[in-house]
């Protein structure tokens, strides 16, 4: 594992993603983790992230020199680079001016490890106040820039490297090569983080965890739970039962489609369809607070799974050797864990239904084979497992469904309204060929807002719906998608004409951050 030490960077997750793109497994840990604990994990290499501090500030996160003396290859980025210089006796100067944005490198040493085979004219993304003006003893300066007299250095013997810029962001033209050079040439790591290896490793771990017991898997119709189910199916065969809960918060015709697609996707695992529509709607009556909704939905899911569990146990009541039904398989991803406050020091932004939304008194043991993966990795694993494109490339849809896309109380009438508007949006997006380009396009009903309109010479007093089309790589950050005005016009016309009760269509033009993708 390559550990990314997070010094408070906006980009720490992104660094881990880029490392994995170079086929090396990587995780993020807070920089405050004691050095002994970090080294105990026997990291294959360390990457020190950037961060907002100056090495001279009181209370700035410190780099423990022990990490540089352990013989583990190290790459420092930005603040991490300056920390190395500071710790090993180099000179870090307060320049007083910030260098921010794109810069071209100068005097690049092309037979260095990081720049092997590259030439001078590479553009890099800088964002720093202090600058390294003198490299520590034993280091060679391998690049400079106008604002950074030492823009990169390396000590091949100790295998310690650093760059002042951010190779992980797309604006750095050769950034991925620089990272790959560190991993493969500097640290000598192989490329063994591949979908096929993830499958072998996970199947092994699932067998170990579940043993002889039986498991049920909550299937949502999305790629995550389908891939989780397929992995567990491969590991324990027909001791897995999939449970699809129709909570009444799905989109138009979705439940039927999921039942149909299921057969192909999990190689014949058993599927139980549960109709819990009334149950969920009753539990949500009168509730408007987003976190309360999420908690209620999370709890309802678990209670429904418990009932399914009891049914499965009852079926095999005659068989004294029937294994326990003890595990609940979920398609929880790495970003869900981080955003539900699972990562150390991260704020609880919202309780994703399958992580923070779980009740405390849950009796299942959880099996979450995708907990370390990003969405694109899940898709690669799904393809490798032979799941159909229709499932692998399905756009994300949140577990709490339309329940968190109705701002205000969730009622049957409001769900019906939103379903009809959403179906139009999805049909038009598909017709425009945008399904793979757009990450997803939530349609949100502002159920407590009404505005005046005019239609067919009459006054209307209806609700607005919001279109929230976004592009994203992993849902951790997102940008609003620039849909063509023709497409927007078509969607707007159709919704206001075809959905009685909606008289206004508005477009959300907020990126994430500061907005989140879903409105609740």
Nearest to 74, CA basis, from 130, 113, 132 = 113
- Considering the candidates 86, 128, 154, 168, report the single residue annotated as catalytic: 168
Q: Cα separations (Å) of 321 from 212, 213, 469, 510?
A: 11, 11, 52, 56
465 a known binding residue? no
Kindly report the backbone phi and psi dihedral angles of residue 281, in degrees, each rounded to the nearest multiple of 5, phi listed first: -65, -40
223 a known binding residue? yes
Minimum CB distance to ligand XMP smaller for 51 or for 331: 331
The residues binding ligand XMP (CB under 6 A) are 339, 350, 352-354, 396, 398-400, 440, 475, 512, 516-518
Contact by Cβ (8 Å): 494, 424:
yes
221 a known binding residue? yes
- Considering the candidates 86, 128, 166, 352, report the single residue annotated as catalytic: 166
124 a known binding residue? no
Minimum CB distance to ligand XMP smaller for 400 or for 469: 400
226 a known binding residue? yes
Minimum CB distance to ligand XMP smaller for 214 or for 394: 394
Strands 123-134 and 91-104: antiparallel
Minimum CB distance to ligand XMP smaller for 159 or for 247: 247
CB of 444 to ligand XMP, least distance (A): 11
Minimum CB distance to ligand XMP smaller for 143 or for 378: 378
Q: Which string of DSSP letters, residue by residue, matches 251-267?
A: -TTHHHHHHHHHHHHTT
For the question of residue 498 being annotated catalytic, the response is no
Q: Which two tokens stand for residue 431?
A: 């017709």
CB of 298 to ligand XMP, least distance (A): 8
For the question of residue 106 being annotated catalytic, the response is no
Contact by Cβ (8 Å): 80, 162:
yes
CA dist 13 and 32 (Å) reads: 16
CB of 417 to ligand XMP, least distance (A): 20
For the question of residue 166 being annotated catalytic, the response is yes
Q: Sign of the CA dihedral 70, 72, 75, 79?
A: negative
CB of 373 to ligand XMP, least distance (A): 14
Minimum CB distance to ligand XMP smaller for 126 or for 372: 372
CB of 478 to ligand XMP, least distance (A): 7
Q: What is the 3-state composition of the chain as percent helix, strand, coil, each rounded to the nearest 5?
A: 35, 25, 40
3-state SS track over 118-132: CCCCCEEEEEEEEEE
224 a known binding residue? yes
CB of 221 to ligand XMP, least distance (A): 11
What are the DSSP E strand ranges found in 111-269?
123-134, 140-145, 148-155, 160-163, 214-219, 240-246
220 a known binding residue? yes
Residues marked active site are found at: 78, 166, 168
Known binding-site positions = 220-226
Known binding-site positions for ATP = 220-226
């Amino acid at each position: 594992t390559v550990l990314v030490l997070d010094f408070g960077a906006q980009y720490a997750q992104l660094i881990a993603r880029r490392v994995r793109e170079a086929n090396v497994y990587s995780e993020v840990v807070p920089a405050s983790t004691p050095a002994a604990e970090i080294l105990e994990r026997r990291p294959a290499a360390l990457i020190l992230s950037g961060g907002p501090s100056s090495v001279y500030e009181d209370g700035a996160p410190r780099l423990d020199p022990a990490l540089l003396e352990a013989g583990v290859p190290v790459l420092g980025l930005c603040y991490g680079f300056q920390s190395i210089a500071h710790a090993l006796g180099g000179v870090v100067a307060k320049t007083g001016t910030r260098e921010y944005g794109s810069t071209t490198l100068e005097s690049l040493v092309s037979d260095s490890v990081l720049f092997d085979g590259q030439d001078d004219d590479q553009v890099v993304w800088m964002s720093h106040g202090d600058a390294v003006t003198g490299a520590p003893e034993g280091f060679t300066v391998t690049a400079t820039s106008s604002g950074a007299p030492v823009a990169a250095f390396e000590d091949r013997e100790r295998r310690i490297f650093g760059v002042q810029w951010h190779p992980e962001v797309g604006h750095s033209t050769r950034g991925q090569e620089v990272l790959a050079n560190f991993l493969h040439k500097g640290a000598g790591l192989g490329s063994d983080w591949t979908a096929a290896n993830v499958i072998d490793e996970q199947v092994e771990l699932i067998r170990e965890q579940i043993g002889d017991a039986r498991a049920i898997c909550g299937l949502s119709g999305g790629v995550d739970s389908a891939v989780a189910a397929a992995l567990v199916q491969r590991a324990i065969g027909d001791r897995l039962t999939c449970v699809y809960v129709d909570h009444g918060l799905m989109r138009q015709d979705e439940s039927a489609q999921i039942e149909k697609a299921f057969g192909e996707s999990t190689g014949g695992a058993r599927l139980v369809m549960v109709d819990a529509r009334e149950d969920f709607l009753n539990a949500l009556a009168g509730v408007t607070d987003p976190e309360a909704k999420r908690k209620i939905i999370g709890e309802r899911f678990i209670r429904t799974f418990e009932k399914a569990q009891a049914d499965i146990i009852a079926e095999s009541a005659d068989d004294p050797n029937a294994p326990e039904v003890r595990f609940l398989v979920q398609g929880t991803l790495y970003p869900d864990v981080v955003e539900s406050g699972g990562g150390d020091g991260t704020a609880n932004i919202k309780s994703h239904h399958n992580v923070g939304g779980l009740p405390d008194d849950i009796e299942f043991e959880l099996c979450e084979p995708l907990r370390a993966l990003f969405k694109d990795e899940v898709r690669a694993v799904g393809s490798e497992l032979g799941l159909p494109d229709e499932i692998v490339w399905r756009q994300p849809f949140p577990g709490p469904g339309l329940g968190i896309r109705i701002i205000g109380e969730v009622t049957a009438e409001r769900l019906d309204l939103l379903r009809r508007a959403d179906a139009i949006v999805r049909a038009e997006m598909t017709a425009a060929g945008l399904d793979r380009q757009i990450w997803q396009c939530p349609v949100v009903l502002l159920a407590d807002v009404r505005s005046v309109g005019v239609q067919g010479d009459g006054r209307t007093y209806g609700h607005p719906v919001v279109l929230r089309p976004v592009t994203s790589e992993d849902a951790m950050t997102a940008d609003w998608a620039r849909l063509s005005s023709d497409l927007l016009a078509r969607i707007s016309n159709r919704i206001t004409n075809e959905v009685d009760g909606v008289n206004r269509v508005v477009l959300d033009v907020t990126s994430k951050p500061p907005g989140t993708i879903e409105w609740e």
